A and B are shown apart, each in its own frame.
Chain A
Amino acid sequence: GESVGLHLPTLSVQEGDNSIINCAYSNSASDYFIWYKQESGKGPQFIIDIRSNMDKRQGQRVTVLLNKTVKHLSLQIAATQPGDSAVYFCAEIISGGYNKLIFGAGTRLAVHP
C-alpha cells in the first residue's frame, strides 16, 4: 500500500495574533522540559526551557507554562509573525546520566498574513 506521512496537528493563526501550542508529556518523573522549533530543511532550534520547580518562564515573545498536576506544557507566542511558521516540538527529560530527551510528535504552526 501507499505509505503516508506523520499527520501533525496544525494550528493556523493570523499574523499579529497570539499562538498557544500545547503538549502533554508522559512521565511524571520528568524534571526538565524544552521547546524546539523546526523550520523546513533545518534541524530543531532551541526556543525556551523550564525546570519542574517552576510553572512559568518567559523569553522574548515566548512564554512556557508547566502544569505538573496534569502533565501539560504549553508554549505561548505573542504577536505571531510569518517567520514563526514551523513545527514546534516539546521534549521532556528525566535528569541523571546523560539526560535522554523524549520528543513529542510536534505541532505545525501556520501563520497567515
Chain B
Amino acid sequence: ETGVTQTPRHLVMGMTNKKSLKCEQHLGHNAMYWYKQSAKKPLELMFVYSLEERVENNSVPSRFSPECPNSSHLFLHLHTLQPEDSALYLCASSQGGQKQFFGPGTRLTVL
C-alpha cells in the first residue's frame, strides 16, 4: 500500500453520464496530481494541486473538472466524456519536490 487510495477502482459510464473519481492520501503530503494512462500514450499529467491550489492544467478538455477541497482529497468530475477518454486514471501525491506516490488507479470505460 502506498498511502494513496482511489475509488472506484472500475467505472463504466455512458457519454451522457456524470460521475466523479475520488482520491485520498494518508501521507500528509501537500501536492496532489491526476494522470491519464491509456493504451496508446505514455503517462500524461492532467492536473496538479499544490497547497490546494491548481498550479497546472495540462491542456485538458473542460469535460474533466478537478476539485481539491483539502490537502488530503482530490476529485475528478467527469461529464459528457468520449470513448477515447477510456483509460486508467491515476492519482499521486508528494511532499513538495519529493517523489510522487501513486494510487492504484480507476479503470474508466466510456461507452
Residues of A within 8 A of B (CB): 3-6, 32, 34, 36, 41-46, 49, 89, 93, 95-101, 103-106
- Given A95-B97, A98-B56, A99-B96: A44 and B42 interface contact (C-beta under 8 Å): no
Chain A contact residues, majority secondary structure: loop
- Given A44-B90, A98-B55, A98-B97: A103 and B48 interface contact (C-beta under 8 Å): no
In angstroms, Cα B46 to Cα A103, docked, is 13
Identity of the chain A residue whose Cβ is nearest the Cβ of B41 in the assembled complex: A6
Q: B80 within 8 Å of A by Cβ?
A: no
Residue numbers in B under 8 Å from A32 (CB-CB): 97
- Given A42-B104, A98-B48: A103 and B43 interface contact (C-beta under 8 Å): yes
B94 contact from A3, A42, A99, Cβ within 8 A: A99
**Pair B105/A43 contact, Cβ less than 8 Å:** yes
**Pair A43/B96 contact, Cβ less than 8 Å:** no
**Pair B97/A3 contact, Cβ less than 8 Å:** no
A and B contact pairs by CB, cutoff 8 A, 10 listed: A6-B39, A6-B41, A6-B42, A41-B104, A43-B2, A43-B6, A43-B92, A89-B43, A100-B56, A104-B42
In angstroms, Cα B55 to Cα A104, docked, is 22
Apart from A43-B2, A43-B6, A43-B104, list 17 A-B contacts with CB within 8 A.
Answer: A3-B39, A4-B40, A6-B38, A6-B39, A34-B100, A41-B104, A42-B105, A43-B90, A43-B92, A45-B2, A46-B100, A89-B43, A98-B55, A98-B56, A99-B96, A100-B48, A103-B43
In angstroms, Cα B103 to Cα A21, docked, is 24
In angstroms, Cα B4 to Cα A3, docked, is 32
